[in-house]
Structure 1
């Protein structure tokens, strides 16, 4: 099989695997309070355990992501994707078997320790996709995440009511396991010409390389703020819609419909922004997308009926699809092949830290002040990310994608000395 056919097949497999994995994860999240009730947790204790269970995978993923990226740099990208998928499969199987909240929490922590499919797929695509199509590829993967986020809750609601929560866990574990077998059989290791089995570059050296480039550092910080903003919105969006709807009986319908609109727009926007990233700088596209997200989030406090949220959520979802792929594309371009997995792993840990910060800060602000104040605060995250792009030198915003990678000379030099 020629390289072009291999790359197209790899893309289809990675897209499918990311879709199934995301659907499996988002099936679980909305139903956590109900599942914990089957484990004997009710009332205020249920809310505490729900929050703890939601944040648990992120805590271990922060630590595990750079480690798995480093392993991938040494042993190859394919098996890191397979490892992440089978780790998720095993975690969901065990979560479905848990009999106590403590065991369930342990298996949620294990889920994060196995690493994420998103960063494994990004590292694979960064090595496999042609340089002039990496933006489109990473943008399409954001579309797969959006499609999975749209399908997961819908599937979960239908199956949980008919068959129960444990059966739902087992079914999604089985689907994820099948996708892992598909990846193991169909994925072809990227042809990079790099010798894998060698002494690895220390992670602190990789971090210093990323942080040494002003443009890369600024885009990672802006991605951190974007991740904080979008996960903070998860906390405060439903209360705002409930207040606007005027009837708690219809609030859930409005929340579900508006979330569907947002993820549908993200699905449509991924490839569009990806093509733009291939033609121009990701910093420039991040600026416009983050600015639009910040404005749309702030304006959601000014409407008086949920219907007016529809266009704002549509634009927000479309523009959000540009943000994280732009960060991963910048890191891919700024890191040599020898340390690309480590660089993406370090970046992903930083982004997950933003996820945790956003959720907790939104909960604190909405509790002290109001959901409106929290929306304005979270909109400020996106606007600050856009401001970080404005402060970059003009030549950075117009740099051609074909120029050599910047900011990782230390890491590359370390590899060259070890050869």
Structure 2
């Protein structure tokens, strides 16, 4: 097996472990806050929102820095830095003495996180260009599979061993993933010899000056904000449709159906990116996600929502891999990781703002309006593709 395939499969397995471990804490974080002494339901909700959001905020701020260091010292080093750093922080979360200490650890976790983005940069730069789309699709399938399994494992283990012990298991699992990368993943990387020192703003101006990279960044933000960002609010809509019966189970089913479809479609759509062109896959996937988002605002039965979420997930499987493939093709030589670093900032910004703004909109106009908002954002992405991305790439 040639090295790029070996790296791909090892990193896919490692990302599965990391995502499963990181998402194991999702089902019980509000309950853990209660164990830490927060008993008022309104306070629990506020703290849970802050603690979830601060992770994405700090990651949004530091992603360009990690991208710069990756270009200078190698992407594998950034995967290891993130893996071992998150392992330590996750174990420390199990020793939190109150909400403020948990808030600080989540802030620290976001600052040193980046296992997935660094793995994407490593795979994309060490894979032959004609196979990058398929490779990134496989990598995303591993990440999504982990995020589906993690909450299930976490919920089961919380009942058996308690909340604090799960953080130890999570940290140990991430450490195993990092050790696997340390011993088995190789990188073909030559450090730059005479690189001119530039600021983050200068780097951004250089990268943003390459069309259509700014449009792709905006589309990545739209994807995370409009599709992934509203996932935490879907449970409220499920509760309405189910009449409150088994709402937790059905909420998990609605979210998991989208993730399962994403996992199934990512490798195939990634392969199409290599053969048909990533801009066509991104354009078609945006169109499909837009068309399947609209009916979700008008469903009257729970099964209808689950079916529409599944089809939306199939389209989601082609969005980020195709966008990341385009970034790899367009990134300036020697600045690949910085280009991905700014991309990750837009991704984390969408993750952070989606639930926050979506919650405000849902409170004012109702849950169903979220799907209209999502459709409008995706339509804006389609316009960007049609006006800014497809014509430029077709002319090259």
Give the TM-score, by structure 2 length: 0.95
Give the number of equivalent residue pairs. Answer: 395
Q: CA deviation at 1:220?
A: 1.4
Query: 1:329-408 to 2 correspondence within 5 Å?
Result: 329-392=325-388, 395-396=391-392, 398=394
1:415 matched to which residue of 2? none
CA RMSD of aligned residues (A): 1.7
2:60 matched to which residue of 1? 62
Q: Distance in 1 between matches of 2:181 and 2:390?
A: 42
Q: Distance in 1 between matches of 2:205 and 2:142?
A: 32
Q: Which runs of 4+ in 1 moved over 4 A?
A: 196-201
Q: How far does the alpha carbon of each residue in 1:268-301 deviate from its partner, in whole angstroms, 9 at most, with x for none?
A: 1111111111123322211211121122222112
Q: CA deviation at 1:209?
A: 2.8
- Cα 1:24–1:200 shift into 2, 3 Å: farther
Any idea what SS the aligned residue of 2:216 has?
Answer: helix
Q: Distance in 1 between matches of 2:378 and 2:19?
A: 24
1:160 matched to which residue of 2? 158
* 1:227–1:355 contact (8 Å) kept in structure 2: yes
Is 1:308 matched with 2:318?
no
Q: Distance in 2 between matches of 1:202 and 1:397?
A: 29
Q: Distance in 2 between matches of 1:393 and 1:144?
A: 28
Which of 284, 290, 297 lines up with 1:288 in the alignment? 284
Q: CA deviation at 1:310?
A: 2.6
Which of 200, 205, 209 lines up with 1:203 in the alignment? 200
* 1:289–1:322 contact (8 Å) kept in structure 2: yes
Q: How far does the alpha carbon of each residue in 1:331-379 deviate from its partner, in whole angstroms, 9 at most, with x for none?
A: 1111134111111111111221122222211011011110011221122
Query: 1:19-418 to 2 correspondence within 5 Å?
Result: 19-42=16-39, 43-191=41-189, 193=190, 195=192, 198-246=195-243, 248-392=244-388, 395-396=391-392, 398=394
Q: Distance in 2 between matches of 1:168 and 1:393?
A: 44
* 1:66–1:345 contact (8 Å) kept in structure 2: yes
Is 1:17 matched with 2:17?
no
Q: Distance in 1 between matches of 2:83 and 2:346?
A: 21
Structure 1 gaps of 5+ residues are 404-419
Q: How far does the alpha carbon of each residue in 1:169-204 deviate from its partner, in whole angstroms, 9 at most, with x for none?
A: 11111111111111111111125x553685554332
Any idea what SS the aligned residue of 1:338 has?
Answer: coil
Structure 2 gaps of 5+ residues are none
Any idea what SS the aligned residue of 2:212 has?
Answer: helix
Q: CA deviation at 1:94?
A: 0.7
Which of 15-24 and 197-206 deviates more?
A: 197-206
Give the TM-score, by structure 1 length: 0.90
* 2:233–2:355 contact (8 Å) kept in structure 1: no
* 1:65–1:345 contact (8 Å) kept in structure 2: yes
Which of 339-348 and 278-287 deviates more?
A: 278-287
Q: Distance in 1 between matches of 2:230 and 2:319?
A: 16
Any idea what SS the aligned residue of 1:214 has?
Answer: coil
